[in-house]
Structure 1
Amino acid sequence: MKLQAIALLTFLTIANVAAQETLKLTDMNALELVQEWDKTFPQSDKVEHTKITFHNRYGITLAADLYKPKNTQDRLAAIAVSGPYGAVKEQVSGRYAQTLAERGFLTIAFDPSYYGESGGTPRYLTSPEISTEDFSAAVDYLTTRADVDPERIGILGICGWGGFALNASANDPRIKATVTSTMYDMSRVKANGYFDADDHADARYALRRQLNDLRTKEYGTGKNERDGGVVDPLPEDAPQFVKEYHNYYKTERGYHRRSPNSNEGITKTSVLSFVNMPLLAYIGEIRSAVLLIHGEKAHSRYFSEDAYKRLTGNHKELLIIPGANHVDLYDNLDVIPFDRIDDFFRKYLMKQQ
């Protein structure tokens, strides 16, 4: 009996410690969300706006803005939106989500894992796997809502999140339609440089040496260095696309205090995972509908054009916007083709696949 009592006491002690650890984890992921309107765009009186949270399969809690058309009773088609790379939901993705909600969709614009109002440590990290997972986690959440038809869920990714959206669509058949706007293939640009100018083994080896030396330093100091975000002030010889980024992220037009691009940027060593893991390896196997949108004058146009060639489904579209640059598709309502996006999602989300 004495041995049984000791065993029971030991079990209860272990169970109590485990419960305390679980509570700590829950507390760590209990996010405190800003409730006042702090977006870079005006609030619409046509939609209901609420803050929500959901979690991905890595246990990271994500924060999102939910936009729902007012005075709706039926289950709705839903769209999860994120991007650009290094931006937050109060910037571009929120503008897209709110506008599509005005047109009758239930939408969420979410912050990626590790930055914005979402959880995850270390802060300001990005990962091709986890950033892709975040889209599927958003789908998980939307399927649980009573006001969403789980068979009519789409996603929309902007800039770097366009690449993550395509990657998610290749891996997740629950996604019935995908739109990318001014898409970046982040693994390609990190591994090869712009326009594939550094697409050779020696350049990648030098990059790996540099970043792994930085890992050694960071492990010793316990601090992660960030890439500085969008350069400011602008050097006189800055490329045109860098000037365009500056005009958005570093001015009243698009600056946000939680945006990595507007401030100190992403952790430098995040690049390593992109160099080692090509994002779009399986996009030729996407069976659902895909619409790729890009500006004619965008430096990044080749990402969408090359991705379009690799898509094999019968429901793929490439839309090039005349005269538009990369950043025009962030917030220029005279340029962003919302009518076309609306028509595309209605076509593919209003029927069974």
Structure 2
Amino acid sequence: MKKILKMTALAAALAFSTTALANIEVTPMKNVQTVTVSQEWDKTFAKSDKVEHQKVQFRNRFGNTVVGDLYMPKNAKGKLPAIVVSGPFGAVKEQSSGLHAQTLAERGFVTLAFDPSFTGESGGAVRDVASPEMFTEDFSAAVDFLGLQAFVDREKIGVLGVCGLSGMAISATSVDSRIKAVATTAMYDMSRSMSKGYEDYYTPEQQQKIIKHISEQRWKDAENGNFALGWHELGFDENGNVATGTEVLPKTLEANAPEMLKRFHDYYRGRAYHKNAINSNSAWTATTPYSFFAFPLMANTDLLGDKPVLLVTGTNAHSRYYSEDVYKQLRTPNKELLIVDGADHVDLYDNLNKIPFDKFEAFFKANLK
């Protein structure tokens, strides 16, 4: 019996081997309720031989376990600046955010790409639900974790939000003085997207229809004892009724599908498919828009003060207006809008010829000092 207990303890220790990179000791957070994670390289991009990688787990202030991939330049010495990365909305750390994190680690930063709560490998009893507050908190929880590490300069921590996590990255930076600079790429303001639709096309009457639809869905979920799935940005059918679906992206697209939908499909259902990604396999819970109607992510950008902000979009990005509008809204004098020539929204996920890594490197080196 004692032998079995010892073997069980050993197995548990091996399963949660988050205490060391190759030559760097990682300090775990206390009282983290660990979750089972894959220790294999399962990213949608090639592993770099210039960095060390370690899967880590940490706790946010709600007690939820967040799982991330920690990247560090090989043979690094001393305390390094660090960058927290997450997004897109419905993606996982094995996709675009991980690619950004690994590439920036090659350029001298400690980076941490994480799955937001309730998604991917991160914890949360209800799966595939999004929360503007919780996802904002997850960025700050990642800062908590990085600040415990002996190889991180806790006075030099920034964040990078990709696509739908950009709003949460800005929100976290607005209220967390430990975050010194924020960059976004292919930005989506998910509160605006869900409550107003693409390019704000919802009429007030349509908004009320959606609110009624979501509210009545709560009755159904309460009666059924579970949370039904449904796409987060709701549309309308030919009769003017709210239209929903149980997949973000169908397995196959019609030939006449909109170009931006094809681009998303090629990425999530094609070259960057990952079994843990909502966008590759499933949908958000049907009531997910509820809190995004109630909590506009860009309401408190004045709290950024004079913190540096970099907004990256593409000339051909269908989401370009989000970055341009936020740039106009920001009062900080330390703001910059970079529009990448010839890039569309999805190019900024994984097109190494379009992602401006030189700019990200220069921005964070200049502002994390």
Q: Check whether TM > 0.5.
A: yes
Q: Which residue of 1 aligns with 2:285?
A: 267
* Structure 1: gaps (5+ residues): 1-25
Q: Which residue of 1 aligns with 2:80?
A: 76
Deviation at 1:201, TM superposition (A): 2.7
Question: Which letter does structure 1 place at the counterpart of 2:35?
Answer: L
**Aligned equivalents of 1:113, 1:138: Cα separation in 2:** 12
Q: Is the 8 A contact 1:163 1:279 kept in 2?
A: yes
Q: Which residue of 1 aligns with 2:210?
A: 207
Question: Which letter does structure 2 place at the counterpart of 1:323?
Answer: G
Matched, 1:250 2:269: yes
State the Cα deviation string for residues 240-283 of structure 1 (Å, max 9, x = none): 211110010001x1100000000012112111110111110011
**Equivalent residue of 1:218, what SS?**
helix
Q: Which residue of 2 aligns with 1:293?
A: 312
Question: After TM superposition, what 4+ stretches of structure 1 lie above 6 angstroms from structure 2?
Answer: none
Q: Which residue of 2 aligns with 1:17?
A: none
Q: Which residue of 2 aligns with 1:343?
A: 362
Number of aligned residue pairs: give it.
323
| Equivalent of 1:146 in 142, 146, 150 | 150
Q: Which residue of 2 aligns with 1:22?
A: none
**Equivalent residue of 2:90, what SS?**
coil
**Aligned equivalents of 2:92, 2:186: Cα separation in 1:** 16
**Aligned equivalents of 1:58, 1:264: Cα separation in 2:** 26
**Aligned equivalents of 1:233, 1:272: Cα separation in 2:** 29
**Aligned equivalents of 1:102, 1:182: Cα separation in 2:** 22
**Equivalent residue of 2:280, what SS?**
coil
Q: CA 1:35/1:85 → structure 2, altered by over 3 Å: closer, same or farther?
A: same
Matches within 5 A, 1:195-234: 195-198=199-202, 200-227=203-230, 228-234=247-253
**Aligned equivalents of 2:107, 2:320: Cα separation in 1:** 28
Q: Give aligned-pair identity as a percent.
A: 50
Q: Which residue of 2 aligns with 1:320?
A: 339
Q: Is the 8 A contact 2:187 2:323 kept in 1?
A: yes
State the Cα deviation string for residues 65-118 of structure 1 (Å, max 9, x = none): 000111112100000000000000000000000000000000000000001000
| Equivalent of 2:183 in 169, 179, 184 | 179
263-272 vs 103-112, greater mean Cα deviation: 263-272
Q: Which residue of 2 aligns with 1:19?
A: none
* Structure 2: gaps (5+ residues): 1-29, 231-246
**Aligned equivalents of 1:266, 1:92: Cα separation in 2:** 19
**Aligned equivalents of 2:205, 2:359: Cα separation in 1:** 43
Using the size of structure 2 for normalisation, the TM-score is 0.85
Matches within 5 A, 1:114-125: 114-125=118-129
201-210 vs 98-107, greater mean Cα deviation: 201-210
Q: Which residue of 2 aligns with 1:21?
A: none
Question: Which letter does structure 2 place at the counterpart of 1:39?
Answer: K
Question: Which letter does structure 2 place at the counterpart of 1:346?
Answer: K
State the Cα deviation string for residues 229-250 of structure 1 (Å, max 9, x = none): 2233213442221111001000
Q: Is the 8 A contact 1:173 1:288 kept in 2?
A: no
**Aligned equivalents of 2:196, 2:258: Cα separation in 1:** 18
Deviation at 1:223, TM superposition (A): 2.2
State the Cα deviation string for residues 1-60 of structure 1 (Å, max 9, x = none): xxxxxxxxxxxxxxxxxxxxxxxxx99932111001000000001111001011110100
Using the size of structure 1 for normalisation, the TM-score is 0.89
Larger radius of gyration: 1
| Equivalent of 1:89 in 93, 117, 131 | 93
Q: Which residue of 1 aligns with 2:25?
A: none
Q: Is the 8 A contact 1:285 1:311 kept in 2?
A: no
